[in-house]
Amino acid sequence: MTTTDLVPALEQEEAADPFTLGGEAFTSRLVLGTGGLPSLEVLEDVVRASGTQLVTVALRRVEAAAGSSMTEVLRRCGVRLLPNTAGCRTAREAVLTAQLSREAFETEWVKLEVIGDDRTLLPDAVELLDAAEQLVADGFTVLPYTTDDPVLGRRLADVGCAAVMPLGSPIGSGLGIRNPHAIALLREQVDVPVVLDAGIGTASDAALAMELGCDAVLLASAVTRARLPVQMALAMRQAVEGGRLARGAGRIPRRWHAEASTSMAGLPDL
Amino acid sequence: MTIQVTVNGAPTDVADGATVAALVADRSTGHDRVAVALNGGVVPRSRWTATALAPGDRLEVLAPTAGG
Protein backbone atom coordinates (compact mmCIF):
# COMPACT_ATOMS: atom_id res chain seq x y z
CA MET A 1 0.00 0.00 0.00
CA THR A 2 1.18 3.54 -0.70
CA THR A 3 1.98 5.74 2.26
CA THR A 4 0.68 9.25 2.48
CA ASP A 5 2.99 12.06 3.57
CA LEU A 6 1.58 14.01 6.48
CA VAL A 7 2.46 17.31 8.10
CA PRO A 8 4.30 16.75 11.43
CA ALA A 9 1.33 17.68 13.65
CA LEU A 10 -0.85 15.19 11.84
CA GLU A 11 1.83 12.54 12.04
CA GLN A 12 1.76 12.94 15.82
CA GLU A 13 -2.03 12.69 15.90
CA GLU A 14 -1.94 9.55 13.79
CA ALA A 15 0.85 7.98 15.85
CA ALA A 16 -1.17 8.56 19.02
CA ASP A 17 -4.45 7.35 17.52
CA PRO A 18 -4.02 5.54 14.21
CA PHE A 19 -6.90 4.75 11.89
CA THR A 20 -7.28 1.01 11.57
CA LEU A 21 -9.96 -0.80 9.66
CA GLY A 22 -10.33 -4.56 9.63
CA GLY A 23 -6.93 -4.89 11.30
CA GLU A 24 -5.16 -2.75 8.71
CA ALA A 25 -3.66 0.68 9.45
CA PHE A 26 -4.26 3.61 7.12
CA THR A 27 -2.52 6.99 7.13
CA SER A 28 -5.20 8.49 4.88
CA ARG A 29 -8.66 8.94 6.34
CA LEU A 30 -10.29 9.62 3.00
CA VAL A 31 -12.00 6.70 1.27
CA LEU A 32 -12.71 7.45 -2.36
CA GLY A 33 -15.53 6.16 -4.51
CA THR A 34 -14.74 5.84 -8.20
CA GLY A 35 -18.26 6.21 -9.63
CA GLY A 36 -19.16 9.22 -11.73
CA LEU A 37 -15.83 10.21 -13.29
CA PRO A 38 -16.01 11.46 -16.88
CA SER A 39 -13.06 9.33 -18.01
CA LEU A 40 -10.53 6.79 -16.87
CA GLU A 41 -7.66 9.20 -17.50
CA VAL A 42 -8.83 11.39 -14.63
CA LEU A 43 -9.07 8.44 -12.22
CA GLU A 44 -5.36 8.11 -11.57
CA ASP A 45 -4.89 11.85 -11.03
CA VAL A 46 -7.89 11.98 -8.68
CA VAL A 47 -6.71 9.01 -6.64
CA ARG A 48 -3.21 10.42 -6.32
CA ALA A 49 -4.39 13.96 -5.46
CA SER A 50 -6.73 12.62 -2.78
CA GLY A 51 -3.96 10.63 -1.08
CA THR A 52 -6.48 7.86 -0.51
CA GLN A 53 -5.42 4.31 0.24
CA LEU A 54 -8.87 2.72 -0.01
CA VAL A 55 -11.07 2.95 -3.09
CA THR A 56 -14.55 1.57 -3.70
CA VAL A 57 -15.43 -0.35 -6.85
CA ALA A 58 -18.44 -2.29 -8.09
CA LEU A 59 -19.36 -5.38 -10.08
CA ARG A 60 -21.59 -5.20 -13.15
CA ARG A 61 -22.44 -7.30 -16.19
CA VAL A 62 -19.41 -7.48 -18.52
CA GLU A 63 -21.27 -5.57 -21.26
CA ALA A 64 -21.52 -2.54 -18.95
CA ALA A 65 -18.28 -2.95 -16.95
CA ALA A 66 -15.27 -0.64 -17.22
CA GLY A 67 -12.74 -3.18 -18.42
CA SER A 68 -9.37 -4.21 -17.09
CA SER A 69 -7.83 -0.78 -17.67
CA MET A 70 -9.65 0.50 -14.56
CA THR A 71 -8.33 -2.21 -12.26
CA GLU A 72 -4.89 -1.70 -13.81
CA VAL A 73 -4.94 2.02 -12.94
CA LEU A 74 -5.97 1.26 -9.36
CA ARG A 75 -3.32 -1.43 -9.04
CA ARG A 76 -0.71 1.08 -10.21
CA CYS A 77 -1.90 3.56 -7.57
CA GLY A 78 -1.30 0.91 -4.90
CA VAL A 79 -4.70 1.37 -3.25
CA ARG A 80 -6.72 -1.32 -1.53
CA LEU A 81 -10.01 -2.12 -3.27
CA LEU A 82 -13.31 -2.06 -1.45
CA PRO A 83 -16.09 -3.66 -3.54
CA ASN A 84 -19.60 -2.40 -2.89
CA THR A 85 -23.01 -4.02 -3.18
CA ALA A 86 -24.59 -0.97 -4.82
CA GLY A 87 -28.00 -1.60 -6.34
CA CYS A 88 -28.89 -4.50 -4.05
CA ARG A 89 -32.34 -4.33 -2.48
CA THR A 90 -32.45 -7.47 -0.35
CA ALA A 91 -30.10 -9.26 2.02
CA ARG A 92 -30.04 -12.21 -0.39
CA GLU A 93 -28.88 -10.05 -3.31
CA ALA A 94 -26.29 -8.25 -1.18
CA VAL A 95 -24.83 -11.46 0.24
CA LEU A 96 -24.54 -13.00 -3.23
CA THR A 97 -22.99 -9.80 -4.64
CA ALA A 98 -20.45 -9.75 -1.80
CA GLN A 99 -19.57 -13.38 -2.49
CA LEU A 100 -19.15 -12.64 -6.21
CA SER A 101 -16.98 -9.63 -5.36
CA ARG A 102 -14.84 -11.77 -3.10
CA GLU A 103 -14.33 -14.08 -6.07
CA ALA A 104 -13.58 -11.24 -8.52
CA PHE A 105 -11.47 -8.92 -6.37
CA GLU A 106 -9.97 -11.55 -4.08
CA THR A 107 -10.86 -9.56 -0.98
CA GLU A 108 -13.15 -10.29 1.92
CA TRP A 109 -13.78 -6.60 2.47
CA VAL A 110 -17.16 -5.33 1.39
CA LYS A 111 -18.95 -1.99 1.51
CA LEU A 112 -22.41 -3.31 2.26
CA GLU A 113 -25.28 -1.35 0.71
CA VAL A 114 -28.86 -2.54 0.79
CA ILE A 115 -31.13 0.10 -0.64
CA GLY A 116 -34.77 0.41 0.39
CA ASP A 117 -36.01 3.23 -1.80
CA ASP A 118 -35.12 4.23 -5.37
CA ARG A 119 -35.67 7.94 -5.01
CA THR A 120 -33.70 8.56 -1.84
CA LEU A 121 -31.40 5.51 -2.00
CA LEU A 122 -31.81 5.26 1.76
CA PRO A 123 -30.69 1.98 3.36
CA ASP A 124 -33.22 -0.72 4.26
CA ALA A 125 -32.34 -1.19 7.92
CA VAL A 126 -33.92 -4.65 8.29
CA GLU A 127 -32.30 -6.16 5.20
CA LEU A 128 -29.01 -4.42 6.00
CA LEU A 129 -28.68 -5.92 9.46
CA ASP A 130 -29.66 -9.35 8.14
CA ALA A 131 -27.03 -9.17 5.36
CA ALA A 132 -24.38 -7.86 7.74
CA GLU A 133 -24.92 -10.75 10.11
CA GLN A 134 -24.72 -13.33 7.32
CA LEU A 135 -21.57 -11.81 5.81
CA VAL A 136 -19.77 -11.53 9.15
CA ALA A 137 -20.55 -15.23 9.72
CA ASP A 138 -19.12 -15.95 6.27
CA GLY A 139 -15.82 -14.31 7.19
CA PHE A 140 -16.24 -10.93 5.52
CA THR A 141 -14.91 -7.62 6.81
CA VAL A 142 -18.22 -5.79 6.62
CA LEU A 143 -18.38 -2.00 6.24
CA PRO A 144 -22.09 -1.15 6.13
CA TYR A 145 -23.54 2.01 4.60
CA THR A 146 -26.28 2.92 7.06
CA THR A 147 -28.58 5.68 8.20
CA ASP A 148 -27.47 8.11 10.91
CA ASP A 149 -29.54 6.19 13.49
CA PRO A 150 -27.25 5.58 16.49
CA VAL A 151 -29.25 2.52 17.59
CA LEU A 152 -28.95 0.83 14.20
CA GLY A 153 -25.27 1.73 14.20
CA ARG A 154 -24.84 -0.03 17.52
CA ARG A 155 -26.72 -3.10 16.24
CA LEU A 156 -24.43 -3.28 13.20
CA ALA A 157 -21.37 -3.06 15.43
CA ASP A 158 -22.85 -5.69 17.74
CA VAL A 159 -23.19 -8.24 14.91
CA GLY A 160 -19.51 -7.80 14.12
CA CYS A 161 -19.21 -5.11 11.45
CA ALA A 162 -15.67 -3.73 11.17
CA ALA A 163 -16.98 -0.15 10.96
CA VAL A 164 -20.23 1.73 10.74
CA MET A 165 -20.71 4.11 7.81
CA PRO A 166 -23.61 6.52 8.38
CA LEU A 167 -24.86 8.83 5.67
CA GLY A 168 -24.64 12.58 6.07
CA SER A 169 -27.50 12.92 3.57
CA PRO A 170 -28.71 10.89 0.56
CA ILE A 171 -26.13 9.49 -1.89
CA GLY A 172 -25.06 12.04 -4.48
CA SER A 173 -27.25 14.77 -3.00
CA GLY A 174 -24.38 16.97 -1.85
CA LEU A 175 -26.58 18.13 1.02
CA GLY A 176 -23.80 17.64 3.56
CA ILE A 177 -24.40 16.43 7.11
CA ARG A 178 -28.08 17.07 7.86
CA ASN A 179 -27.97 15.79 11.42
CA PRO A 180 -24.57 16.41 12.99
CA HIS A 181 -25.99 15.58 16.41
CA ALA A 182 -26.93 12.04 15.31
CA ILE A 183 -23.47 11.47 13.84
CA ALA A 184 -21.83 12.61 17.09
CA LEU A 185 -24.19 10.39 19.11
CA LEU A 186 -23.46 7.41 16.86
CA ARG A 187 -19.74 8.05 17.37
CA GLU A 188 -20.30 7.76 21.13
CA GLN A 189 -22.34 4.56 20.78
CA VAL A 190 -19.88 2.27 19.00
CA ASP A 191 -16.29 1.18 19.52
CA VAL A 192 -15.62 0.42 15.85
CA PRO A 193 -14.55 3.16 13.41
CA VAL A 194 -17.26 5.49 12.12
CA VAL A 195 -16.89 6.51 8.48
CA LEU A 196 -19.13 9.31 7.23
CA ASP A 197 -20.44 7.95 3.96
CA ALA A 198 -22.62 9.81 1.44
CA GLY A 199 -23.96 13.31 1.12
CA ILE A 200 -20.67 15.21 1.19
CA GLY A 201 -20.94 18.20 -1.14
CA THR A 202 -17.81 20.19 -0.54
CA ALA A 203 -14.69 20.38 1.59
CA SER A 204 -16.33 21.93 4.68
CA ASP A 205 -18.70 18.93 4.91
CA ALA A 206 -15.73 16.56 5.06
CA ALA A 207 -14.02 18.73 7.69
CA LEU A 208 -17.22 18.77 9.77
CA ALA A 209 -17.42 14.97 9.68
CA MET A 210 -13.95 14.74 11.17
CA GLU A 211 -14.67 17.48 13.72
CA LEU A 212 -17.70 15.49 14.86
CA GLY A 213 -15.39 12.62 15.67
CA CYS A 214 -15.73 10.44 12.59
CA ASP A 215 -12.67 8.30 11.92
CA ALA A 216 -12.76 8.76 8.16
CA VAL A 217 -14.85 10.10 5.29
CA LEU A 218 -16.06 8.19 2.23
CA LEU A 219 -17.10 10.25 -0.77
CA ALA A 220 -17.43 9.87 -4.51
CA SER A 221 -19.74 12.30 -6.32
CA ALA A 222 -18.40 15.39 -4.55
CA VAL A 223 -15.09 14.76 -6.31
CA THR A 224 -16.01 12.81 -9.42
CA ARG A 225 -18.80 15.17 -10.44
CA ALA A 226 -17.01 18.39 -9.49
CA ARG A 227 -16.09 20.70 -12.34
CA LEU A 228 -12.42 20.08 -11.49
CA PRO A 229 -12.28 16.61 -9.92
CA VAL A 230 -8.52 16.58 -9.28
CA GLN A 231 -8.63 19.94 -7.50
CA MET A 232 -11.62 18.84 -5.43
CA ALA A 233 -9.80 15.62 -4.51
CA LEU A 234 -6.99 17.72 -3.07
CA ALA A 235 -9.50 19.96 -1.27
CA MET A 236 -11.13 16.90 0.30
CA ARG A 237 -7.80 15.54 1.40
CA GLN A 238 -6.89 18.80 3.10
CA ALA A 239 -10.36 19.13 4.61
CA VAL A 240 -10.20 15.67 6.16
CA GLU A 241 -6.72 16.41 7.50
CA GLY A 242 -7.84 19.84 8.77
CA GLY A 243 -10.91 18.40 10.47
CA ARG A 244 -8.84 15.69 12.07
CA LEU A 245 -6.30 18.21 13.38
CA ALA A 246 -9.08 20.47 14.69
CA ARG A 247 -10.78 17.58 16.46
CA GLY A 248 -7.50 16.67 18.13
CA ALA A 249 -6.70 20.29 19.00
CA GLY A 250 -10.01 20.76 20.83
CA ARG A 251 -12.46 23.40 19.67
CA ILE A 252 -13.38 26.26 21.98
CA PRO A 253 -16.80 26.13 23.65
CA ARG A 254 -19.64 27.95 21.92
CA ARG A 255 -20.66 31.12 23.79
CA TRP A 256 -23.77 33.21 23.58
CA HIS A 257 -21.85 36.47 23.90
CA ALA A 258 -18.45 37.67 22.82
CA GLU A 259 -15.29 37.08 24.74
CA ALA A 260 -12.53 39.54 23.87
CA SER A 261 -9.34 37.99 22.68
CA THR A 262 -7.38 41.19 23.34
CA SER A 263 -6.76 41.69 27.02
CA MET A 264 -8.43 44.67 28.69
CA ALA A 265 -5.46 44.99 31.07
CA GLY A 266 -3.47 48.11 30.29
CA LEU A 267 -6.19 49.65 28.15
CA PRO A 268 -5.25 53.35 27.88
CA ASP A 269 -7.65 56.06 29.05
CA LEU A 270 -7.88 58.22 25.92
CA MET B 1 -26.53 -29.54 -30.88
CA THR B 2 -27.11 -26.42 -28.86
CA ILE B 3 -28.97 -25.67 -25.67
CA GLN B 4 -30.52 -22.40 -24.59
CA VAL B 5 -29.40 -20.60 -21.43
CA THR B 6 -29.84 -17.03 -20.23
CA VAL B 7 -26.65 -14.97 -20.02
CA ASN B 8 -26.83 -11.52 -18.45
CA GLY B 9 -30.56 -11.42 -19.08
CA ALA B 10 -30.43 -12.45 -22.76
CA PRO B 11 -31.47 -15.85 -24.18
CA THR B 12 -28.31 -17.40 -25.60
CA ASP B 13 -27.59 -20.60 -27.54
CA VAL B 14 -24.49 -22.46 -26.41
CA ALA B 15 -23.02 -25.80 -27.48
CA ASP B 16 -24.43 -28.78 -25.66
CA GLY B 17 -21.83 -29.65 -23.03
CA ALA B 18 -20.38 -26.11 -22.92
CA THR B 19 -18.83 -25.17 -19.61
CA VAL B 20 -18.79 -21.99 -17.57
CA ALA B 21 -15.11 -21.66 -18.51
CA ALA B 22 -15.97 -21.66 -22.24
CA LEU B 23 -18.71 -19.09 -21.73
CA VAL B 24 -16.42 -16.81 -19.73
CA ALA B 25 -13.68 -17.09 -22.37
CA ASP B 26 -16.25 -16.04 -24.97
CA ARG B 27 -17.64 -13.12 -22.98
CA SER B 28 -14.79 -11.62 -21.00
CA THR B 29 -12.53 -10.06 -23.65
CA GLY B 30 -11.04 -6.88 -22.19
CA HIS B 31 -11.99 -7.77 -18.65
CA ASP B 32 -10.07 -9.26 -15.79
CA ARG B 33 -11.36 -10.36 -12.39
CA VAL B 34 -14.55 -11.87 -13.78
CA ALA B 35 -17.08 -13.49 -11.45
CA VAL B 36 -19.92 -15.82 -12.41
CA ALA B 37 -23.28 -16.52 -10.79
CA LEU B 38 -25.26 -19.57 -11.88
CA ASN B 39 -28.92 -19.87 -10.91
CA GLY B 40 -28.43 -17.53 -7.95
CA GLY B 41 -25.20 -19.00 -6.57
CA VAL B 42 -21.49 -18.28 -7.02
CA VAL B 43 -19.41 -20.50 -9.30
CA PRO B 44 -15.85 -20.21 -7.93
CA ARG B 45 -13.15 -19.85 -10.58
CA SER B 46 -11.76 -23.23 -9.60
CA ARG B 47 -15.07 -24.82 -10.68
CA TRP B 48 -15.51 -23.11 -14.06
CA THR B 49 -13.98 -25.93 -16.15
CA ALA B 50 -15.89 -28.64 -14.33
CA THR B 51 -19.27 -26.87 -14.46
CA ALA B 52 -21.29 -27.81 -17.56
CA LEU B 53 -24.28 -25.70 -18.58
CA ALA B 54 -27.79 -27.17 -18.62
CA PRO B 55 -30.84 -25.98 -20.59
CA GLY B 56 -32.55 -23.06 -18.83
CA ASP B 57 -29.54 -22.11 -16.70
CA ARG B 58 -29.43 -18.45 -15.68
CA LEU B 59 -25.93 -17.00 -15.70
CA GLU B 60 -24.53 -13.64 -14.73
CA VAL B 61 -21.04 -12.87 -16.02
CA LEU B 62 -19.73 -9.88 -14.09
CA ALA B 63 -16.62 -7.70 -14.07
CA PRO B 64 -15.24 -4.73 -12.12
CA THR B 65 -16.48 -1.24 -12.81
CA ALA B 66 -16.39 2.15 -11.13
CA GLY B 67 -18.66 2.61 -8.13
CA GLY B 68 -19.17 4.72 -5.03
ipTM of the complex in this document: 0.94
Q: What would the pLDDT profile of B20-64 be if each residue is shown by its tens digit?
A: 999 999 998 888 899 999 999 999 999 999 999 999 999 999 999
Q: Cβ contact (<8 Å) for A65 and B40?
A: no
**In the predicted structure, residue A46 carries a pLDDT above the cut 80:** yes
For residues A182 and A196, the answer to whether their CB atoms sit within 8 Å is: no
B66 three-state secondary structure: strand
Per-residue pLDDT, A76: 94
Give me the helices (H) in A118-228, please. 125-137, 150-158, 180-189, 203-211, 221-224
Q: pLDDT tens for residues A256-268?
A: 999 999 999 999 9
Residues 9-68 of chain B whose Cβ lies under 8 A from any Cβ of chain A: 9, 27-28, 30-37, 40-42, 44-45, 60-68
Q: What is the pLDDT of residue A83?
A: 97
Per CB-CB distance under 8 Å, the chain B contacts of A172 are 68
Are B34 and A62 inside 8 Å of each other by CB?
Answer: yes
- Cβ-defined contact of B66 to A57 (cutoff 8 Å): yes
A111 is catalytic: yes
Where residue A4 falls among pLDDT bands split at 50, 70, 90?
A: low
Its pTM stands at: 0.91
CB A187 within 8 A of CB A213: yes
Higher per-residue pLDDT: B68 or B56: B56
Question: How do residues A73-129 score in pLDDT, each as one tens digit?
Answer: 999 999 999 999 999 999 999 999 999 999 999 999 999 999 999 999 999 999 999
